[in-house]
Structure 1
Amino acid sequence: MISHNPTVIFRKAVPDGALPVAGEHIVSDDTCTIDLENVRLGGGFLTETIAVTPESSMRLRMRPREKADFVTTFNLNEPLVGFGLVKVLRSEEDSIKEGDILMGLTPWQKYTVQPYVEADPAGAFPVEQYLVALGNPGMAAYFALHGLAKIKTASIISICTSMRLLTRPSLAIQLAKQAGSTVIASAGSESKLEYLRDLGADHVFNYQTDGYVHPLAKHGPVDIVIDCVGGEALEAAIEHASFKAQIIIVGASADYGVPASERYGVKNMEYVFQKALKISGLFMLDQLDLFEEYFSVIPEMLKSGKVTSRILRVDGLKNGPQAMVNMLTGNGGQVGKPIIFV
């Protein structure tokens, strides 16, 4: 049986300092087809995609190939690849059965043949939670606080976010409060500040009107910094960090779409050695020893309501390119993690 296989294609590399344009760099292609009954599995299994989610890290893979770094670029004229949830339709792998629900990196297309990591075949949680609290954002928040920072009760934590990215910080706030810490958090609109308050943040401020320096001076010094922004936010965090504070960098949204020559340069690096600060970048694969702990702790928090999340529902891969662009530019001020239901 020949079926349509809607796909989001990486058509054109995005120049340094720019953001992708839907319909130019990433495009929706409805012309692809697949024979679901006869496609060769080669010992693998055929899956149908349930949902995928855009991540800021995917922007790194859209750069020109000559700008190669530790993260490989997407292949031109092939599907985007990102975190997703799929259902097994056919399988030649003994450990994978028809009907299993799997999670992991998957092409942005409706049907594909590719191995995944098993999630929760019992379906104990709504689909979207496997891409938010139980997915990459939740892992990033947990690994940053418990893996790198080794969070302790009574710590003062600053969680620096931006108008674009709020999901990881929102989960980090909840985990920090569960550990008994005082949380300082920032956002760029009143609706997002209200959301941070609802999550339990002790002190919130609007970085667009208040900047970063005064609020951190008022509520600091800060023992742990979770920084998703870079630039001025990182500079302020360094200035108002306590002695031997830890700064965990999980993103640099201030630099997205900004040419290298125009990016803000941090000017107070002398504090790093004067205060004996520890600055770490979060690399998920370095935290593999925490995966088992993570999947034993977070599901229980979800069941009890100690951890919650918001999503922005997007229907259909045809809207995938614009959902990616919207995520990188702030989702029009809306609060939530975009989930594309295929």
Structure 2
Amino acid sequence: MQVINGTMNLKLQEGSHGIVVKNLYLSCDPYMRSRMTRVEGPNVFTSYSPGSPLTGFGVAKVLDSGHPNFKKGDLIWGTTSWEEYSLITVLEGLFKIEHTDVPLSYYTGILGMPGLTAYAGFYEVCSPKKGEYVFISAASGAVGQLVGQFAKLMGCYVVGSAGSKEKVDLLRNKFGFDEAFNYKEETDLVGALKRSVSSSLFLSVTWYFPEGIDIYFENVGGEMLDAVLLNMKDHGRISVCGQVSQYNILDQPEGVQNLMCLIYKRIHMKGFVVFDYYNIYPKFLDVMLPYIREGKIMYVEDIAEGLESGPAALVGLYSGRNVGKQVVLFARE
């Protein structure tokens, strides 16, 4: 793919084993912030290069292919660039989209990286059991909303935290969480997680975790993680997916004070990255597609239109402006 006399040539050069794609949907994900900082030492992601397009997950259509696994017209999801057309030469981690009876944008979310992250982090890392008590931070986001619904389908008691009344209402009324709260309204997160309140003898009790948390799906870090550690049950499990509260802290990230809980409560805390679970993607699809088609799992997207809206959409993640999975619609097929 090259520009000749001011005209873009969308054909591959002879001998290339890459693909040329037209980008359709681009995914805004919290981890992208960490790629804007130069990181020394080993890291899962490389830092972005100034002057080059951002790279991230997206959905695209193949225009030309030099690889036997892809042909012109195929729809794919995986790592692409924030630009109209991309030449992709690293094809590992690209997935061909075979099921188009669901929205294509779902492959940036519920059927893409966030969906697989939620599935692997909950089922593979946390090993949940029916009746356990599950807490999810950033629970209305692309990953959190799915973890909560997985937990409910297993018969767990589920509470989520979010940053606005609108998001809390979504958790309770659309995603079926047992309870939810706005962390911005809480001055004592440790106490909030223990809460057991009844405003009347005739009204049901509002309670979170007076007896402790079995599973915490960690998306936030900082003060929330510190509060959760004090509220974990013995032998509880924490799946560490992200720490969005820390990504924009330019100096020293907030220290977590309660790590001794890991020892005396014998807590299993494990970080993971989605790439480690790409091998179970077919199994994941076998579970998720019926859930979606049968309406057993709901999903909310926040779609911004046009590449020019992408920067504001990405920045908005870090102040919680989005409601649901943040997607940029770049082009339709």
Q: Which residue of 2 aligns with 1:183?
A: 158
Report matched runs for 1:173-212 at 5 Å: 173-198=148-173, 199-210=175-186, 211-212=188-189
Structure 1 unmatched ranges of 5 or more: 5-31
Q: Map Cα deviations across residues 127-156 of structure 1 (whole Å, 9 max, x no partner).
A: 111111001111111111111001111110
Task: Kindly tell me the number of residue pairs found equivalent between the two proteins.
Answer: 310
Q: Which residue of 1 aligns with 2:47?
A: 73
Q: Distance in 2 between matches of 1:38 and 1:140?
A: 33
Residue pair 2:12, 2:19 contacting (<8 A) in 1 also:
no
Structure 2 unmatched ranges of 5 or more: 196-207
Code of the aligned partner of 2:177: A
Q: Distance in 1 between matches of 2:12 and 2:112?
A: 32
Q: Map Cα deviations across residues 147-186 of structure 1 (whole Å, 9 max, x no partner).
A: 1001111110011127xx7221111111111111100111
Q: Once structures 1 and 2 are overlaid, which stretch shifts more, 170-179 or 86-95?
A: 86-95
Q: Distance in 1 between matches of 2:230 and 2:283?
A: 34
Instruction: Quote how far apart the aligned CAs of 1:77 are.
Output: 1.6
Name the TM-score, length of structure 2 as normaliser. 0.86
Residues 1:239 and 2:219 are matched in the alignment: no
Q: What SS is found at the alignment partner of 1:82?
A: strand
Name the TM-score, length of structure 1 as normaliser. 0.84
Report matched runs for 1:102-121 at 5 Å: 102-114=76-88, 115=91, 117-121=94-98
Distance 1:271 1:64, change over 3 A: closer
Residues 1:223 and 2:200 are matched in the alignment: no
Residue pair 1:217, 1:240 contacting (<8 A) in 2 also:
yes
Instruction: Quote how far apart the aligned CAs of 1:252 are.
Output: 1.0
For the aligned residue pairs, the C-alpha RMSD in angstroms reads 2.3
Q: Once structures 1 and 2 are overlaid, which stretch shifts more, 220-229 or 279-288?
A: 279-288
Q: Distance in 2 between matches of 1:328 and 1:205?
A: 19
Report matched runs for 1:287-306 at 5 Å: 287-306=277-296
Q: Distance in 2 between matches of 1:98 and 1:155?
A: 48
Distance 1:286 1:69, change over 3 A: closer
**Higher relative contact order (Cα pairs below 8 Å, separated by 6+ residues):** 1
**Equivalent pairs: percent with the same residue?**
28
Q: Distance in 2 between matches of 1:170 and 1:197?
A: 11
Q: Which residue of 2 aligns with 1:91?
A: 65
Instruction: Quote how far apart the aligned CAs of 1:55 are.
Output: 0.9
Q: Distance in 2 between matches of 1:283 and 1:299?
A: 22
Q: Once structures 1 and 2 are overlaid, which stretch shifts more, 41-50 or 149-158?
A: 41-50
